[in-house]
Structure 1
Amino acid sequence: MSISRRVILGGLLATVSAVSLAACSQPKEAPKAPAGKTEFTIGWSIYAGWMPWPYAAQAGIVKKWADKYGLTINILQINDYVESVNQFTAGKLDGVTVASMDALTIPAAGGKDTTALIVGDYSNGNDGIVSKSAKTVAALKGTTINLVELSVSHYLLARALEQAGLKMADIKTVNTSDADIVGAFASADVKTVATWNPQLGEVKKTKGATLVFDSSKIPGEILDLLVVDTALLAATPDLGKALAGIWYETLAVMSAKTAEGAAARAAMASLSGTTPEDYDSQLSTTFMYYSALDALKAMESPDLATVMDRVRQFSFAQGLFGPGASSVDAIGISLPGKTLGSAENIKLRFDPTYTKLAADNAL
C-alpha cells in the first residue's frame, strides 16, 4: 500500500502561484454560491485514515445519508494525492481528503475559500526520522537527511530540530521521492531519512537503524481533514450534514470490537490493497477521532490555533504561500473563536458546526 497524501510537488506550486492571494482585498465573509445543486463529488486517495470513505460507499452508508437529504454524493478515488488536491482547487471536486498543511498551501494559498468540515485523525507515529548514524535528533547536527522536501516530512524534521534546540540551517536535506526513499536508505551513502508509513516501517527494519523521532512526539500537528468548497457548503448545508452523518456512522462501525467491525476494517484493507493485519498496524499509529464529541473538542481547543500557527509559519518560511505573499499573515485561517492572519482574506475555515450536530445526535 502506498500512502502518498503527504507529498507537495514544486510544480504544483507554480500552478497555484498565479492565483495566490488574488482576493486579498475581499471581505472576510464566505463567497456565495447558487442554491439548487444536489449532486456532489468528494475525492479521496489511499491513506489509512481515509479508507472509511470508500467503505461507506461500498456499504451503502453514503447512499443512506445522501437520500435522507435528497442529494447524490459520489465518492471518487483519485490515484494521485496531489492531483486530487489540485482538482479540488480547480473546482473539479466539491470536497477532498487532505492533510492540514496541504489544505493551507494548495487550495487556500491558491485563492480557493476552503472549509475543513471534518477533522478525522492525526499522525501518531505514521511519520518519523530514522538514522543509521545518529541515536538522537541532537546528533543529526551537520548531517544530510533525505526526505520529500516541502512535505510534512519536512515539517516533522523542522519540529524535531526545534525540540532539540537546532535549526534547519544545522542540517542539509536532499529531495528524495517517496517511491525512492527505501532504496536510498539501503545505500551506504544515505545515513538518515524522514518519511511516512509504509516506507517508515520498511526503513525501521534496517539493521542498526534508530528511530530518532516520530510524529507521536508532536501529537495533533499532522492533521488529516475532509475539506469542502465553502460557497457550496453555504448554499447547501445539507451536504455538511450528510457528510458528517456518513463519516461518524462509518467510524462507529469500524471501531466496534465485533465481527462487523473487523469485517469493515478488512474491507478497508482490501480497498487500499493491503492485508487486514497491515491495515490494523497502520491504524495503530493513526489517532482517529472515532467520536464526534472528541473531534469537536479538538476543533474547539485552543491547541488547534497553536498547531495551525506553527504550520503557517513553516509554510510561509518555505515559500509555500506563493510569490505574492508578503507576510505570514497574508492568508487568513478562521478557527472557532479566533482568526490567524488576515481577516479580510480568510481562505481556510475550521467549521465545527456539523461535527457538533453529529455529537448532539441532531443530524
Structure 2
Amino acid sequence: MLNGIRRAGAAAMLACSLIMASCSPATEEKAKPKTEFKIGWSIYAGWMPWPYAQQAGIVKKWADKYGIKIDIVQVNDYVESVNQYTAGQLDGVTVANMDALTIPAAGGKDTSAIIVGDYSNGNDGVLLKGSSNLADIKGRQVNLVELSVSHYLLARALESVKLKMSDVRTVNTADADIAGAFSSPDVTAAVAWNPQLLTMKQEPGAHEVFSSADIPGEILDLMVVDTATLKANPNLGKALAGIWYETTALMQRQDKEGEAARAAMAQLAGTTPKLFNEQLATTYLYADPKKAVAATTDPALIKTMTRVRDFSFAQGLFGQGASSANAVGMSFPGGKTLGDKDRITLRFDDSFMKMAADGGL
C-alpha cells in the first residue's frame, strides 16, 4: 500500500531509539575505500525514483561512471530499513528527518543527509468530524500513530491555535486500522497520512482542519549515508546525486517518457498511476538541485530541526540517558550547528546537491 509503510511502527521506532540511545556514542571509525554499496528504500511516493532508477539502468549508468556498484535494496518495513542502516547492514537509506534524528543519530551513528528529496505538502492531515474549526479539537480523543510524524503534526496543529498536547487525549492506532477507526461514530478526530487520509476525508461530516501543507518543509524525506563511508568514498555521494536528479527530471516531464516513468514507479509501489499521481500532487519534490540547496542552506531548516528535536526529546525518543534536547548534535551548511557540538551525529551536507546544481557531477 503506497505510503502506508513509510511511517508505521511507532512502537518499534521507540524501542529502537531507546536501545540505541542508551549506548554510548559510537567511536568514529575510519571506513575504507570500497567499490560496492547497498542503499535501502521502502515504499513511499517520494522514494519511488530510487527503485525505478535501478530498473531503468540509471543506477548502473552513474555507478559505472564512478567505477562503483550500487545495489538499491527494498526493505518491506520502513522502520526495519532504518534499523538495518543503523546496524551497519546498509550504507545508506531513505528516511524522514525526524526518524534520521531519533534512530541512527540518537544512537550515535554519524549520519549525513546528502539529498533533501521532498517534503510532505498535504500528504498528512488532521481531521475533525462536525467542525471545520481546528480549535474544536480541544477535549477530544485523537486517533493517530503515536510517536510518528502524525504525532508531530498534531503538536504543530495544536500550537497554531494556542493549545497543548494535554488539551487532547491521543489514542495509538495503527496506520492499517485508522481509516476503519475513523468510520466509527465514536471517533471524531484523527491524524493520518495518504492513502488512508484520502479515504477518511470521504467520511460524512469530515473536515481537514490542518495539514502538512500548513507547515511546508517540516516533514522532510532524505537520502542519508554513513558519514565515515562517505568520507572514504565520495564517489558514492556523486553517483547518488546523479541518479536522483536524472530520475526526478524524467518523472517531472509531461510527455510519454515522463508518463511511462511515473506508471512504472506506481507499479513498483503496488498502486495505480492515478493514485500515485494523487500522492505526488501532495508531495513537494526537490527535482531541481538548486532549490534543494536553497532549502538546505535556509535558516528555516535549523528552526524546523529545533522543533523536531524538541518534540522528540519531550516524547522520550532520545532515550533515558538524554538530559536535554541538546543531547544529539546536528550540523548544517556554513558551519552552523544545533545541540551538542561534541556529539554531532546528524549532518545536513549540501555538497553533492551543489555539484548537481553547478553541473559538476
TMscore range, shorter length: over 0.9
Of 337, 343, 346, the match for 1:345: 343
Taking the aligned partners of 2:283 and 2:221, their CA distance within structure 1 comes to 10
Taking the aligned partners of 2:100 and 2:84, their CA distance within structure 1 comes to 12
Q: Is residue 2:361 matched to residue 1:360?
A: no
Contact kept? 1:24, 1:330, Cα under 8 Å: no
Q: Measure how far apart 1:23 and its partner are.
A: 4.5
Contact kept? 2:41, 2:75, Cα under 8 Å: yes
Could you say what secondary structure the match of 1:67 adopts? helix
The answer for the alignment partner of 1:117 in structure 2 is 114
Code of the residue aligned with 2:87 in structure 1: it is A
Taking the aligned partners of 2:338 and 2:33, their CA distance within structure 1 comes to 33
Q: Measure how far apart 1:8 and its partner are.
A: 4.6
The answer for the alignment partner of 1:47 in structure 2 is 44
Code of the residue aligned with 1:341 in structure 2: it is G
Could you say what secondary structure the match of 1:135 adopts? coil
The answer for the alignment partner of 1:17 in structure 2 is 18
The answer for the alignment partner of 1:6 in structure 2 is 7
Structure 2 stretches lacking a partner, 5+ long: none
Q: Measure how far apart 1:22 and its partner are.
A: 4.1
Contact kept? 1:63, 1:73, Cα under 8 Å: yes
Taking the aligned partners of 2:315 and 2:141, their CA distance within structure 1 comes to 18
Could you say what secondary structure the match of 2:359 adopts? coil
Could you say what secondary structure the match of 2:278 adopts? helix
Contact kept? 1:25, 1:344, Cα under 8 Å: no
CA deviations 1:27-55 (Å, max 9, x no partner) are xxxx3433231110111000000000000
Contact kept? 1:24, 1:344, Cα under 8 Å: no
Q: Is residue 2:338 matched to residue 1:335?
A: no
Q: Is residue 2:167 matched to residue 1:170?
A: yes
Q: Is residue 2:92 matched to residue 1:68?
A: no
Could you say what secondary structure the match of 1:344 adopts? helix
Q: Measure how far apart 1:187 and its partner are.
A: 1.1
Of 83, 86, 93, the match for 1:89: 86
Q: Measure how far apart 1:188 and its partner are.
A: 1.6
Of 311, 316, 335, the match for 2:313: 316
Taking the aligned partners of 1:107 and 1:25, their CA distance within structure 2 comes to 11
Q: Measure how far apart 1:283 and its partner are.
A: 0.3
Q: Is residue 2:35 matched to residue 1:35?
A: no
Taking the aligned partners of 1:86 and 1:25, their CA distance within structure 2 comes to 15
Contact kept? 2:124, 2:211, Cα under 8 Å: yes
Code of the residue aligned with 1:360 in structure 2: it is D
Taking the aligned partners of 1:18 and 1:209, their CA distance within structure 2 comes to 39
Contact kept? 2:16, 2:103, Cα under 8 Å: no
CA deviations 1:200-238 (Å, max 9, x no partner) are 000001111111111100000000001111110011000
Contact kept? 1:21, 1:331, Cα under 8 Å: no
Of 79, 102, 105, the match for 1:105: 102
Kindly report which structure 2 residues correspond to 1:97-246, keeping only aligned pairs within 5 A, or say none. 97-246=94-243
Contact kept? 1:21, 1:330, Cα under 8 Å: no
Q: Measure how far apart 1:10 and its partner are.
A: 2.4
Structure 1 stretches lacking a partner, 5+ long: none
Taking the aligned partners of 1:151 and 1:102, their CA distance within structure 2 comes to 9
Taking the aligned partners of 2:233 and 2:22, their CA distance within structure 1 comes to 26
Q: Is residue 2:297 matched to residue 1:300?
A: yes
CA deviations 1:302-322 (Å, max 9, x no partner) are 110011011001000110001
Contact kept? 1:127, 1:200, Cα under 8 Å: yes
Taking the aligned partners of 2:35 and 2:184, their CA distance within structure 1 comes to 53
CA deviations 1:153-206 (Å, max 9, x no partner) are 000000000001111011110000000001101112111110000000000011
Could you say what secondary structure the match of 2:244 adopts? helix
Taking the aligned partners of 1:228 and 1:15, their CA distance within structure 2 comes to 19
Farther-moved stretch of structure 1 (181-190 vs 194-203): 181-190
Farther-moved stretch of structure 1 (118-127 vs 14-23): 14-23
**Structure 1 residues 335 and 177, CA gap change in structure 2 (3 angstroms):** same
How does the TM-score come out when normalised to structure 2?
Answer: 0.97
Of 260, 264, 271, the match for 2:268: 271
| Alignment RMSD | 1.3
Q: Is residue 2:279 matched to residue 1:282?
A: yes
Contact kept? 1:25, 1:345, Cα under 8 Å: no
CA deviations 1:38-73 (Å, max 9, x no partner) are 110111000000000000000000000000111110
Contact kept? 1:21, 1:111, Cα under 8 Å: no
Taking the aligned partners of 2:13 and 2:234, their CA distance within structure 1 comes to 31
Code of the residue aligned with 2:353 in structure 1: it is T
CA deviations 1:79-124 (Å, max 9, x no partner) are 1001101111111111110000000001111111111010000000
Code of the residue aligned with 1:17 in structure 2: it is L
Q: Measure how far apart 1:2 and its partner are.
A: 3.5
Between the aligned residues of both structures, percent identity stands at 62
Q: Is residue 2:56 matched to residue 1:59?
A: yes
**Structure 1 residues 263 and 25, CA gap change in structure 2 (3 angstroms):** closer
Contact kept? 1:204, 1:211, Cα under 8 Å: yes
